[in-house]
Structure 1
Amino acid sequence: MALKLWAGRFSKEVDSKVNDFNSSISFDSRMYREDIEGSIAHATMLGEQGILSDGDAMQIIAGLKQILADIEAGTLAIDPQAEDIHTFVEGELTARIGDAGKRLHTGRSRNDQVALDLRLYLKKQVDLLYGETKALCEVVAKQADAYADTVMPGYTHLQRAQPITFGHHLLAWGEMLLRDLGRLQDCKKRMDCSPLGCGALAGTTYPLNRERTADLLGLAAVARNSLDGVSDRDYALELCSALSILMMHLSRFSEEIILWCSWEFKFIELDDAYSTGSSIMPQKKNPDVAELVRGKAGRVYGDLMGLLTAMKGLPLAYNKDMQEDKEAVFDAVDTAHLCLTTFAPMLATMKVLPQNMRKAAAGGFINATDCADYLVSKGLPFRDAYKATGSLVARCIELGTTLEALPLEEYRAVCDRFDSDVYDFISLDTCVSQRKVLGGPAPENVKAQAQAMLERLKEGTAL
């Protein structure tokens, strides 16, 4: 029978089904390193404070280090029958070094222990997620630079609206990813706090040095209130929230990739390594990676909502409901890792089809606003210019032509301020190149913005 840290109060064994229901080892075992690191810091501090003898402290630390080495070498398997990772580590330590191992838990509760483990684990995961998001943002910026002058239609309501460039469009996603990086940075600041020493809820009478354990673990602060220290899961909620927004961005980006891959658009073609086929239709090349990313966004939303719901009615301090925090946040983290590390190479290897983008931009009268602006430059009020251009579009539709091909006499029939220079004014290249306003799609802007984005990423100044 596996060790239970709370067994002294009870006169009979817990039902086996309750054991299974209560156990968290199946998912919290991934925190074995953080649990051991936290215990080493705790034992170090206990020895320094004279709460443990130097001999016991040294024996505990050496035993914990060996357990960690054995787990990572694969010579020690984590017992799936243990209640949780904390019980397993302490039980293994005691089996190896005897009574000294039983002294490790002095001045500590599983409540502050698990809160510490989760913070340490998630802090490392935030760093990994930051690096993966940064790598994706770099791909976006480099692709934007490469296609800074590739004209395409910009859309509103999924209707062709105004001419932009593919590089400019990609940079919009880059800006969203930069904000995601900022949220991850911000989330980590509030995660970087030690609850160790808060005990079950009321601290302890032992003269612990909480700042010392925080320092040993590389944490920037200690929880200022022992009740809050063991019952706070804001950092897990905040990470799930940041990842939900990130996944929303990836989902929207995926939707565009899926559209762009379709024969109706055919703006890009995904590399074979990031596409799949059909079991019955030999001509198919499906954007399954993008579709899965789009689908997995809902999964991360569910993790956030599940954790919010688990926490919403809990009184202070710790409640067993809070064991539900780990599976939710672990799943959100795992899903985001998987999506980010797949999305970046998919985007880096896609084939862009500029000629199809240009062809789409040539239709749909996306230079109509520029035609109206031409009349404004000739002194006509914008509303009058807008109405005149609308009449010209209607005439083009009637004749089956475009504004670029409409004869000058048709222009003059609507407004006598039109002259032959209108054709240069409304050409797609002019429409794009003259949009030099800060944040606009002029190729020189896009290149500068892409380089600035890469520089910010290099410097780590996401926001």
Structure 2
Amino acid sequence: MTLWGGRFESSPAQAMAALSRSVGFDWRLAPYEIEVNLVHLSNLIEQSIVTKDDGAKIKAALMELASDIGSGKFKYTPEDEDVHSAIERGLIEKCGPVGGAIRAGRSRNDLVVTDFKLYLVDHLLEVASEVSNLVKAFNAQSEKHLDVIAPGFTHTQHAQPITFAQELSKHSHALLRDIDRVFDWLDRNNLSPFGAGALAGSSIQKDPEKSGVALGFNGAMANSIDAVSDRDFAAEALFIIAMLGVHLSRIGEEFILWSSTEFNWVAIDDAYATGSSIMPQKKNADVAELARGKSGRFIGNLTSLLVVLKAMPFAYNRDLQEDKEPVFDSVDQLLILLPALTGMVATAKFNKAQISKTASSGFSLATEIADFLAKKQIPFSIAHEVAGECVKFCEKSGIELHEITDDQLLKIHPALTKDLRALLNLEGAISSRTSAMATSKKSVSQAVTQLNKEITKVDAEISKHQKRLSGMIRS
């Protein structure tokens, strides 16, 4: 079924119909379409464009259609052009020609963007909820590993010793920013495009603000042309997912390295690993690898939509049919990935002894020497050189920095007195870094406690939004 054609003398060519048809992917917007139609119907009845009796018939048919869509009883057909035509076909089948009255005062242009925006409101909240679960998994693992000292890395080389809980909890901070971006998105994009019509507004849809609030939005967009052409909200959603995907990829990469024979820092639970079809001994970190791989897909979907939107003139253009598949794909893949990654993190068993074993290797305590001298008012440029001399001496002697004797230190520089010894060890290096952002056990413990408080607030915010939308048909 098509919603146009009165001025045409022939049907579209088969190739044209195939190119134009979008119902195969936009059908998932059907529950949102029902929601919008119900709100729109109230407006038509209020203005006496549809009688109360006819309105009651149409409403009953829409409610029945919603149930049939949910159960799978009503489906689209190959003859339906898009979700809008399929829904109208179903409506007319249930209540007769009067069902076609629902089309007054609205266009597919404002209808589809409203459906799409409602879809993203719901699904970004679902994404935020899944990310919250991942944050909780990292927080729980961090609390278990506050006493573990690990080598910290920059450039994938040993840098300075750190509390391993800080290494784990860094991911919680990044993921909380991703959730915060979802909340920012909701604040900025929670305005309804419905009532814009094709582009110029509608003489029948006189109060878009009221309709917007009825749909769960905070109000209506200010410009009808912008309303039908805006896809910033979709691009922003894809950016949020792409940025989240980058964070998930980093998590994946670390678990891949940590679970390797060379690191042997973590054992991934069997439930979140796979084996080899030819090598019986293999245990592969496939969840982590898929997290790393899917990030490229998320970035690609963002790029795809941005290219579609580039140089889009005036109001609605059919190019915008290409806006939904990248979003649907990213949302689908993310909601498959997040629970698996959360399970992998939550069930991971870390090898504490192996993690701490090389924490002082690679002369990771060298900065303690430079800082010690700087506190004695020796210019850091000189202190840096002296610390480097200590490293050079240890390399030639085949020892680590903590093994250098007091006499050997004094020969390198007279300011390297025996009180350096208290810092030239892992515990001393860790405990000296006491700022709120630093790596001492106390600092990290306080930071993880704060992370737990923040995720509790996040859950309350997600629940508030979901409760606000809980009365909707689509829920």
TM range (shorter): over 0.9
| CA deviation after TM superposition for structure 1 residue 379, in Å | 4.8
Do the aligned residues in 2 keep the contact of 1:254 with 1:290 (CA within 8 Å)? yes
Report the Cα distance in structure 2 between the residues aligned to 1:48 and 1:147, rounded to whole angstroms: 63
Counterpart Cα distance in 2 of 1:194 and 1:335:
27
Conserved 8 A contact 1:49-1:209: no
Give the secondary-structure state (helix, strand or coil) at the position aligned to 1:401. Answer: coil
The one of 166, 169, 174 aligned to 1:168: 166
Task: Map 1:242-391 to 2 at 5 A.
Answer: 242-391=240-389
In structure 2, the residue matched to 1:6 is 4
1:416 Cα shift?
Answer: 2.6
Counterparts in 2 of 1:366-445, with a 5 A limit?
Answer: 366-445=364-443
Q: Which of the numbers 105, 108, 118 marks the counterpart of 2:116?
A: 118
Structure 1: segments with no counterpart, 5+ residues = none
Gap regions ≥5 residues in structure 2: 462-475
Q: Tell me the secondary structure at the aligned position of residue 6 of structure 2.
A: helix
Matched residue count: 460
Structure 2 counterpart of 1:43, which letter? L
Secondary structure of the corresponding residue to residue 402 of structure 2: coil
Residue 162 of structure 1 aligns to a residue whose secondary structure is: strand
Hey, what does 2:152 align to over in structure 1? 154
Q: How many Å apart are 1:51 and its aligned residue? A: 2.2
Task: Work out whether residues 150 and 167 of structure 1, in 8 Å CA contact, stay in contact via their aligned partners in 2.
Answer: yes
Match of 1:186 in 2: 184
Paired with 1:188 and 1:282, the residues of 2 have a C-alpha distance of 49
Report if the CA contact (8 A) 2:210-2:219 is conserved: no
Task: Within 5 Å, give how 1:48-197 maps onto structure 2.
Answer: 48-197=46-195
3-state DSSP of counterpart to 1:380? coil
Q: CA deviation at 1:408?
A: 2.3
Secondary structure, aligned partner of 2:403 = coil
> C-alpha separation between the residues in 2 aligned to 1:102 and 1:120?
23
Distance in 2, matches of 1:74 and 1:240, equals 29
**Counterpart amino acid of residue 361 in structure 1:** A
* Offset from partner CA, 1:48-102 (integer Å, 9 cap, x none): 2222211121111110000111121232233243111110111111111112201
Contact 1:40–1:61 (8 Å) recurs in 2: yes
Q: Are residues 311 and 207 of structure 1, via their aligned partners in 2, closer, same or farther at CA, if it must alter by over 3 Å?
A: closer
Aligned residues: CA RMSD: 1.5
Contact 2:195 / 2:205 at 8 angstroms: preserved in 1? no
Shift of residue 372, structure 1, vs aligned partner: 2.2
Equivalent residue in structure 1 for 2:218, among 217, 220, 223: 220
TM-score, normalised to structure 2, is: 0.94
Report deviation, 1:434: 1.6
Instruction: Write the letter of the residue equivalent to 1:366.
Output: S
413-422 or 429-438, which deviates more: 413-422
State the percentage of identical aligned residues: 37
Matched letter for residue 428 of structure 1: L
Aligned-pair distance for 1:342? 1.4
CA shift at 1:263, angstroms? Answer: 1.7
**Matches of 1:207 and 1:316, distance apart in 2:** 22
Alignment partners' CA distance in 1, 2:452 and 2:254: 23
| Equivalent position SS for 1:220 | coil
Offset, 1:207: 5.3
